[in-house]
Amino acid sequence: MDPLTLGGLVALATILVLFSGVSVAIGLLIVSAGFLILFDGMRSLELMPEIMFGKLDNFALLSIPMFIIMGASIASTRAGADLYEALERWLTRVPGGLVISNLGACALFSAMSGSSPATCAAIGKMGIPEMRKRGYPDGIAAGSIAAGGTLGILIPPSVTMIVYGIATETSIGRLFLAGVIPGLLLVALFMAWSLYATWRSGNTAVLSSRSYSWRERIEILPRVLPFLFIILGVLYAMYGGIATPSETAAVGALLCLLIAVVIYKLWNPRDLWTVLRDSTRESVMILFIIAAAGVFSYMLSSLFITQSIAEWIGTLDVNRWVLMAAVNVFLLIAGFFLPPVAVILMAAPILLPIITTAGFDPIWFAVVLTINMEIGLISPPVGLNLYVINGIAPDISLKTILMGSLPFVACMVLAIILLCVFPELATWLPDAVMGTAV
């Protein structure tokens, strides 16, 4: 059978299996095993365990459970509430300071926790009622939190970037740095739209908040500064050549646990067990997907599907930006239905040779891919963040939440366009800190 036709059958089978409700990892293994048996015989299954364990035999993978523990220990405390309150106290005199403080809290908390749903829940439980009480439109209140929660997969340290780095064998350090400026750009775009939409609502009363004394502003800082110092310390250790990403992740996880115990008194063994249990579950899920995706990639390669697709793309007489637009459409559609980790692990082996052949930087492409995944988190039919917000504020209709989120989707699309016009937004900082990649 022609490899391109076979590739179409694999894609169709994968979609049908994943839509059946099985987990992503099991679905990938079912499709991989089925096609390997069909075309290579039963003996091909003997290689599957070796491929799975070989895919997990990577020291860099240790950083994934460490960063997840780091985030879980933060998410299980009042860190989100304190972070939100601190920003509100310091930004209260800024016009529209409340919505800015909400987005700032989302950016910082999602960067620390790495979990979009956890960010929406932690910041949304306080931010949405407070914004509505002060007269902010429901769409702005809900949409800003839903969009702000997506920032954690772009702003370092990001588990999604680690997975991309492992899947494509690119520098995790460079990927982290590449996400900094685009992440700040998205925060700025989100804030600009929120302020404009608030001003356009005509309710000028919402642009002012209660005032806080300097004592009230300063007394909240000891609760949040340690977490910010940990993030800065992790990044400094990584880029200062002091430790590897895995080592810095382990130290960061330990420090976050200690702060949760000392500052937030999380010393109940049952609470600590919950943090470790949930972190283990999430880590195993991600690692299982990575192992299954390794088998899936092997199947695509052994049946010459990946090579044939790359060769076919290379023969197309189209502008490389037309090709990139098609890739973005594919990523958007995939992100509507699948979690970011699954999309990266399934698509990276196919897309990487295509985008490098077309002359695109794989580090730059990682940022574009991640923003596409962010769009999927606030877009139907899955749109996980939309349902989290609906659970926090059930009296706000899902339609209102969706309509409030759509302008932030437009902000993300604008960010992708800006990255295409100015790729240095993603590539300048890695090159400046770590030198130009050879």
Mean pLDDT in each 10-residue stretch from start to end of the chain (438 residues)? 80 83 85 88 85 83 82 76 77 70 81 73 79 81 87 81 86 88 92 83 60 80 79 76 79 84 82 86 85 85 76 74 87 81 81 85 93 86 78 85 90 94 92 76
* Dihedral angle over CA of 21, 25, 28, 34, nearest 10: -90
| Residue 337 near residue 379, CB atoms below 8 Å | no
Q: What is the DSSP letter of 156?
A: S
DSSP SS3 for 415:
helix
- Asked if the peptide bond before residue 137 counts as cis, ω within 30 degrees of 0, the response is no
Q: What's the pLDDT score for residue 314?
A: 65
Q: What's the pLDDT score for residue 367?
A: 94
Q: From residue 300, give the alpha-carbon distance in Å to each of 23, 117, 304.
A: 20, 33, 6
Q: What's the pLDDT score for residue 423?
A: 93
| Residue 175 near residue 161, CB atoms below 8 Å | yes
Q: How many CA atoms within 13 Å lie on the side-chain side of 349?
A: 20
Q: How many other β-carbons are positioned within 10 Å of the β-carbon of residue 393?
A: 19
- Helical (H) or strand (E) element with 236: helix 221-239
243-254 residue pLDDT tens: 777 788 888 888
| Residue 52 near residue 291, CB atoms below 8 Å | yes
170-224 residue pLDDT tens: 888 899 889 999 999 999 999 888 888 877 776 655 555 567 777 888 888 887 7
434/363 Cα distance (integer angstroms): 13
Q: What's the pLDDT score for residue 38?
A: 87
* Dihedral angle over CA of 239, 244, 246, 251, nearest 10: -70
Q: Which two tokens stand for residue 365?
A: 């492409």
Q: Which two tokens stand for residue 165?
A: 């780095």
192/158 Cα distance (integer angstroms): 24
Q: Which residues contact 174 (CB under 8 A, 6 or more apart)?
A: 363, 430, 434, 437
| Residue 230 near residue 255, CB atoms below 8 Å | yes
Please list the helix, strand and coil fractions of the chain in percent, rounded to the nearest 5, in that order: 80, 0, 20
Q: How many other β-carbons are positioned within 10 Å of the β-carbon of residue 69?
A: 24
